[in-house]
Structure 1
Amino acid sequence: MKKLRYVKDEGMNKKRWLRGGVAICLSAAVLSGCATGQDKQGSQKDLANSLKVMYSGSEDYFYQEFGMLFSAVYPNIELEVVNTLSLENTLLDQYNQDMNKALDAFIEQEQPDVVLLDPTTITSLIENGKLYNLDTYVAEESYNVGGFNPGLHDYMKDIGGGQVYAIPSTFRSQALFYNKDLFDQYGVPYPTDQMTWDEIVALANHFPTDGAPSDRIYGLEMAWSKELTEVVNVLATAEGLNYFNSDTMQMSIDTPAWESIVEQSNQVLTSDAIFYYDYIYSGDYEASSESSLGDPFLEGRLAMKLESNYYIDTIEIAQNNAQDPEDIVQQWDMVTAPVGLQNPDSTGYSMFYNLFAINAASTNKEAAWTFISYITGDEFARVQSKQSYGNIPLRAQYFDKGDGRNYAAFYKLKPINNVPAYHQVPQRFVYEFPSMLQQEFASISDGQLTIEHALSELQIKGNELLATEIMSQEELKLYLQEQQDVLGPGVITR
């Protein structure tokens, strides 16, 4: 039987789907948008005829993602894409890698009407008066804030210090997929929304653990490899824990909460009911068919799997490509991703990003709001739901496929708003701490270190790295070369 390599890369999947049916979807969507746009011509006469939009990718990708649909509805508004390459290649060095100062300078220099941000850069721009308050716009009845997925409005106010300054255009989320046939076969109760990892692992342990790796049943897949670091990262996400505090630039790993997570992860590693993808690379696991991609859930031999919304398309593609669709999992559903004990209504497995705001200095605020309100509005969400980008529409009603499955699992929990500001972190920490973490945790697994001692060491060593200077691009290049000379090529992967 042929052994297949499964590559867990959502970016690759996204690009593959973009090469497929998106052009057809966009054509149909544009035709639909044009029909709606004709009704709006009267409202366009007072809008500016050009709009500068800040964007981090190519102009072509901007039009694929946003511009084509918007231009079909608002043909009188000419869009000018302001690429952030100068920010990344010049201004960051000019301002000693200080993203907040570089972003301020970029906005002053380019004067975009619409500004693209991430959650970690908004606070500084608000404090510096760079962003326009959107509360009045958002309150308009025609905008339909109530149509957003649960928690989005609160999230917008959280990142704006109680007011709305930016609105996300993109949402991705994870849920726990489960195979109903396997649960029925072994008499195990189905998982439910808002279970903890302890409860999920307990369910997984009800499934048999005997048999050859390529033939047996597995209860759960939750991490890439059977290493303490991998499992700790997954469980810590549910609790919203970070290794460091980006406001104080101090480590936060030597705490009772982290100690509890590492102990829990050690317990998870003792279970034989859990599947890890490094089993495939060990040479023991063989895929049952080309269309299953070496994925035991697709093959009907894995009971539960934490995955993103992309995975729905993966299942459909596997079924469409299989010689016999019955070989691919049929009776499956979803519940929310596991939650933490301290945050039962929130999740670290969902994220809003590509946040659009209005430049406070813009003279085209009405046109800027027209753009933002359209790409975050009902009509755009309806059209986007028929495309294959892999993102979830911001408005939950357009994601349900009407097949009785629990698509609300992706929306039910509020994203935890504590993403570390990695752009403010010294590069030595980014490059060196992951291997340091892996070494210390490996020592725990080997019994060489206690959890308390390892976390204390990581607190001290991590703080030393956080205290180092942020390097210029030239200094970073020399540093990376020195690291490769010492450790060998290919060692640095981040």
Structure 2
Amino acid sequence: MKRKLDTPAWEQRLGSRPPLKEGGYSRELEGRVMQRVAAGPRPGRRRLIRWSPLLACGLMIAIGIGQAEQLAGWAGRLGGKEQADGSSLNGGKPFTLRVAADSAADFMAAYGEAFEQKYPNAQLEVIPLKGRGLTRTGAEQPRGDWFADQRPDVLELEADRTYSALAAEGRLQTLETLSQEEGWERGRMHPGVTAALRSLGGGALYGIAPEYEQLALYYNPSLFEQYGIPLPRDGMNRGQLIEAASRLAQAGGAGEERIYGLAFDGGLSFLEGLVQSAAAEDPGLLDPQGHVDLQDVEWRRLWEQAVEAVRGGAVYVPGAAVRAADSGKKAEPKSGEADVKKAAETRDAAGSSAVDRAAAPADGGESRTAGLSALELFLQGRAAMVLGPYDLARRLDEAARRAPDNKAAAGWNIVTEPQISPGQTNESASFRLRRVYAAAAESPQPEAALALVKYIAGEEAAKRRAAAAGEQHLPSRLPGLTLRLLQGKHAEAFYRLQPPQAQASAGLPSRLAEALPLLAAERFAAAAAGRQTADAALRQLEAELQAVLDGAK
């Protein structure tokens, strides 16, 4: 006798009494249905499959034309026969692929279970890395021994020196043929993704990253129109951004009615963005003799302009620790790698950095504002611009669903993030690849390993990620995947820019590159709080960085 499979409660409600409200089905239900569709029919559920097209038609009538198109797609997939095209892979014989990944549970949920369903003769075994094996050599197990012991077929890697080293050592299969067959570099993938991977791979393509991160400048058009200030545009540099923020701050109110020109979303602080931009361009941080030199005219002008912007309230920095703003304590330079890492992790519960705490407004009228997030100020109409990731669009979308009349939540738009320098109009300082997937060169079943990599980079997997994660990250695939959150917006802002030719701080010694944002935060905080002039703070930063460089020799 066959065991009767339990039907989830939400699925039972969908079949008996569709949970429809004004505005249609919920986003949570949409995600569940998409995941259920992608998972395919359960054994013994033929009645549901037979009746699902009829159910979808009923939902179309109830919800209306506006959302019927999506439901029609679901109906077709639910009513169709189960797809299993793995019979040709490995000649239809059972096979096992070993995947080296950081988390077995996460990988199987994201890709493994669906791949096994797509290829019934496949079984995946995940080798949990947890930061071990591939990233460490020397006193611990050599990388060559690890490969010989574990014999991975597919690798989940960070887009860093480990990926570059494995490619250089010949441990990864080339993906050139797969890229040509899939059209990755003929409009199927964001060209910046493949360009960054080629740069890390010495010119060749050895892996693929299905997602990436990049910032964009979100803005509230109604505030710009209210004060007669031109709207932001693609290609603005950081100086032009600060100038626009200052104009808005001067035109707005004061105290709790103050309008900030610019705010930074999440853990990104104003100074971190400034240093990130400067380090990416490397404008004279080291002179020809190898000494630290911060007297570059452009860098000094940007530093002074940024200090004044924070002092004048043009730029908002979260101030959950306002009472500790002006402690006057001077931090000693950190030259050891462990100390630098520890200092980088020393943030308060609200995610405020040293510059955030020191530059936060200290008067009683604004101290209540200091605890607000950039998103809250934006929704209140008190922050005209926010520099944030793609995930900010999701949070704005949720806010618009809760408050449809909110102008900022419904009427926002985006332009490209501020450029690294006036002469570079197509590079992103914030562009970062997420996980990279590669096939091991020594895999005993190279065809199957490439099939898994192909699936991870494919459209089916992209749709599953979007449904499960709620579109938190930018998909590398361009066609066939509509970014719902950016419909009606300037979506090109997230796709127009390319990764910088030189990665951030790539030309600096590693210890100096790690110390730069930390020491710069201390000096910038002192200048923004008025404890030092901008010039004195910059000169002291130069001396402290030189001490770090001398200690590393």
Normalised-by-shorter TM-score class = 0.7 to 0.9
CA contact (8 A) 2:520 2:541 kept: no
1:441 to partner: Cα distance: 4.1
SS at match of 2:434: strand
> Does structure 1 residue 110 correspond to structure 2 residue 192?
no
Asked if the contact 1:425–1:466 (Cα under 8 Å) also holds between the matched residues in 2, the reply is: no
Q: Given that residues 287 and 294 in structure 1 are in contact (C-alpha distance below 8 angstroms), is that contact kept between their aligned partners in structure 2?
A: no
Give the whole-Å Cα distance in 2 for the aligned partners of 1:91 and 1:166.
Answer: 17
Give the % identical residues.
23
The answer to whether the 8 Å contact 1:115/1:357 transfers is yes
User: In structure 1, which of residues 453, 460, 469 is the aligned counterpart of residue 539 of structure 2?
Assistant: 453
Match 2:37 to one of 25, 28, 44 = 28
User: Equivalents in 2 of 1:439, 1:272: separation in Å?
Assistant: 19
1:346 to 2:391 alignment: no
Pick aligned residue for 2:123 from 72, 78, 82: 78
Read off the aligned partner of 1:236 and give its amino acid letter: V
The amino acid of 1:115's aligned partner reads: L
Taking a change above 3 Å as real, the CA distance of residues 334 and 441 of structure 1, as seen in their structure-2 partners, is closer
Q: How many Å apart are 1:85 and its aligned residue? A: 3.2
Q: Distance in 1 between matches of 2:37 and 2:321?
A: 41
Task: State the shift of 1:51 in Å.
Answer: 0.9
Aligned mate of 1:220, from 256, 262, 271: 262
User: Aligned letter for 2:181?
Assistant: E
Query: How far does residue 104 in structure 1 lie from its aligned partner after superposition?
Result: 4.6
Confirm or deny that 1:400 pairs with 2:409: no
The RMSD of aligned alpha carbons is: 4.0
Write the letter of the residue equivalent to 1:50: T
TM-score (norm 2): 0.67
CA distance in 2, matches of 1:78, 1:124: 29
Q: For residues 104-127 of structure 1, give each alpha carbon's deviation from its aligned partner in whole angstroms, at most 9, with x where no partner exists.
A: 543333121111222222222222
- How far the C-alpha of 1:65 sits from its partner, in A, is 2.2
Is 1:233 the counterpart of 2:272? The answer is: yes
Cα deviation, 1:237-292, whole Å, max 9, x if unaligned, reads 235157999xxxx886657365454344334334432222227956735579x9x9
Matched, 1:331 2:411: yes
The match for 1:52 is 98
Contact persistence 1:280–1:286 (CA under 8 A): no
Match status 1:355 vs 2:400: no
Distance 1:369 1:204 in 2: 49
Q: Of residues 291, 294, 306 in structure 1, which corresponds to 2:387?
A: 306
Structure 1 residues 293 and 348, CA gap change in structure 2 (3 angstroms): closer
Tell me, yes or no, if the aligned pair for 2:174 and 2:206 is still in contact at 8 Å: yes
Which amino acid letter does the alignment assign opposite residue 413 of structure 1?
L
User: 1:95 pairs with 138, 141, 166, which one?
Assistant: 138
Q: 5+ unaligned residues in a row in structure 2: which ranges?
A: 1-26, 41-73, 323-361
Question: Could you tell me how far apart the structure 2 residues matched to 1:286 and 1:440 are?
Answer: 26
Q: CA deviation at 1:193?
A: 1.1
Q: CA deviation at 1:380?
A: 2.2
Matches within 5 A, 1:53-452: 53-56=99-102, 58-85=103-130, 87=132, 92=136, 95-96=138-139, 103-117=143-157, 118-141=159-182, 145-209=186-250, 211-222=253-264, 230-239=269-278, 240-241=280-281, 254=294, 256=296, 258-259=299-300, 261-278=302-319, 284=366, 286=368, 295-322=376-403, 325-326=405-406, 329-341=409-421, 342-387=423-468, 388=470, 390-397=472-479, 398-401=481-484, 403-416=487-500, 418=503, 435-442=518-525, 446-447=532-533, 450=536
* Structure 1 position 22, deviation (Å): 5.8
Unmatched 5+ residue regions in structure 1?
Answer: 1-17, 468-494
Which amino acid is 2:38 matched to?
Answer: A
Aligned AA for 1:400?
L
Residues 444 and 454 in structure 1, CA contact (< 8 A), matched pair in contact too? no
CA distance in 1, matches of 2:207, 2:522: 40
**Structure 1 stretch 22-31 or stretch 168-177: which is displaced more?**
22-31
Moved more, 160-169 or 279-288: 279-288
> 157-166 vs 400-409, which deviates more?
400-409
Query: What's the TM-score once normalised by structure 1's chain length?
Result: 0.74
Q: Name the CA shift for 1:297/1:429 in 2 (closer, same or farther; >3 Å).
A: closer
2:432 aligned partner, one-letter code: M
